[in-house]
Structure 1
Amino acid sequence: MGLSRKEQVFMALLGASGVAGLTALILFLVEAASVLRPTDIKFGIVFDAGSSHTSLFLYQWPADKENGTGVVSQALACQVEGPGISSYASDPAQAGESLQGCLEEALVLIPEAQRRKTPTFLGATAGMRLLRQKNSSQARDIFAAVTQALGRSPVDFWGAELLAGQDEGAFGWITVNYGLGTLVKYSFTGEWIRPPEEMLVGALDLGGASTQITFVPGGPILDKSTQADFRLYGSDYSVYTHSYLCFGRDQMLSRLLTGLVQAFSNFYYTFHFLNLTSGQPLSTANATIWEFCQRSWKLVEASYPGQDRWLRDYCASGLYILTLLRDGYGFSEETWPSIQFRKQASGVDIGWTLGYMLNLTGMIPAEEPAQWWAQSHSVWVATVVFLVLTLVAVLGAAAVQLFWVQD
Structure 2
Amino acid sequence: MIRATQVVPKSQHQETPVYLGATAGMRLLRIENEQLADKVLAAVARSLSNYHFDFQGARIITGQEEGAYGWITINYLLGKFTQKVSWLNLKPNEDSDLETYGALDLGGASTQITFVPPNKKIESPSNTLHFRLYGRDYSVYTHSFLCYGKDQALRQKLAKDIQVGTNGILRDPCFHPGYETVMNVSDLYSSPCTKRFEMTLPFDQFQIQGTGNYQQCRQSILQLFNTSYCPYSHCSFNGIFLPPVHGDFGAFSAYYYVMEFLNFTSEETRSQEEMTETMEKFCSQPWEELKTYFGDVKEKYLSEYCFSGAYILSLLLSGYHFTAESWKNIHFMGKIQSSNVGWTLGYMLNLTNMIPAEQPLPTPLSHSTYVFLMVLFSLILVAVAIVGVFIFHKPSYFWKDMV
Counterpart contact for 1:176–1:350, Cα < 8 Å: yes
Q: Provide the residue aligned with 2:259 in structure 1.
A: 271
One-letter code aligned to 2:147 = C
Partner of 1:320: 311
1:349 to 1:312, Cα distance in 2 relative to 1, 3 A: same
Matched with 1:151 is: 49
Retained in 2: the 8 A contact 1:282–1:332?
Answer: no
User: Could you tell me which residue of structure 2 aligns to residue 244 of structure 1?
Assistant: 145
Question: Which deviations, in whole Å up to 9, do the C-alpha atoms of 1:143-191 show, x marking residues without a partner?
Answer: 0111112223222211111111110000000111112221126566599
Does the 8 A contact of 2:134 with 2:355 survive in 1? no
Task: Report if aligned partners of 1:169, 1:242 keep a CA contact under 8 Å in 2.
Answer: yes
Helix, strand or coil at the partner of 1:199: coil
d(CA) in 1 for partners of 2:354 and 2:341?
Answer: 22
Give aligned pairs, total. 263
Aligned residue for 1:169, secondary structure, equals helix
**More relative contact order, 1 or 2 (CA 8 Å, 6+ apart):** 1
What secondary structure is seen at the aligned counterpart in 2 of 1:276? coil
- 1:340 corresponds to 2:331: yes
2-structure distance, mates of 1:358, 1:231:
14
- Segments of 5+ residues of structure 2 without an aligned counterpart are 158-186, 194-250, 357-370, 372-403
Whole-Å separation in 2 of the counterparts to 1:192 and 1:180: 21
Paired amino acid for 1:243: S
CA, structure 1 residues 306+119, in 2 after alignment: closer, same or farther (shift >3 Å)?
Answer: same
Give the conservation status (yes or no) of the 8 Å contact 1:212–1:241: yes
> Within the alignment, does 1:124 sit opposite 2:22 as a pair?
yes
Deviation of residue 269 (structure 1)? 1.2
Amino acid at match of 1:134: E
Counterpart AA for 1:123: G
Q: Describe the shift of the 1:187–1:302 C-alpha distance in structure 2 as closer, same or farther (beyond 3 A).
A: farther
Q: Match of 1:172, as an amino acid?
A: G
- 1:202 maps to amino acid: G
Asked whether the 8 Å contact 1:185–1:193 carries over to 2, the reply is: yes
Match of 1:298 among 276, 279, 288: 288
Work out whether residues 185 and 192 of structure 1, in 8 Å CA contact, stay in contact via their aligned partners in 2.
Answer: no
Structure 1's unaligned 5+ residue stretches are 1-102, 366-375, 377-407
* Per-residue deviation, residues 311-340 of structure 1 (Å, max 9, x unmatched): 111101001001000100001111111110
Q: Alignment RMSD, CA only?
A: 3.4
Q: Over alpha carbons, which structure has the higher Rg?
A: 1
Aligned with 2:32 (options 120, 123, 134): 134
Distance verdict in 2 for CA 1:334–1:233, change over 3 Å: same
Q: Give the aligned residue type for 2:286.
A: S
Q: Give the corresponding residue for 1:221.
A: 122
Q: 1:301 to 1:189 in 2, by over 3 A?
A: farther
Calculate the TM-score normalised by the size of structure 1: 0.58
Identity of aligned residues (%): 46
Q: Any runs of at least 4 consecutive aligned residues in structure 1 with deviations exceeding 6 A, and if so which?
A: 190-195, 248-251, 254-258
In structure 1, give the amino acid aligned to 2:259.
F
What secondary structure does 1:362 align onto?
Answer: coil
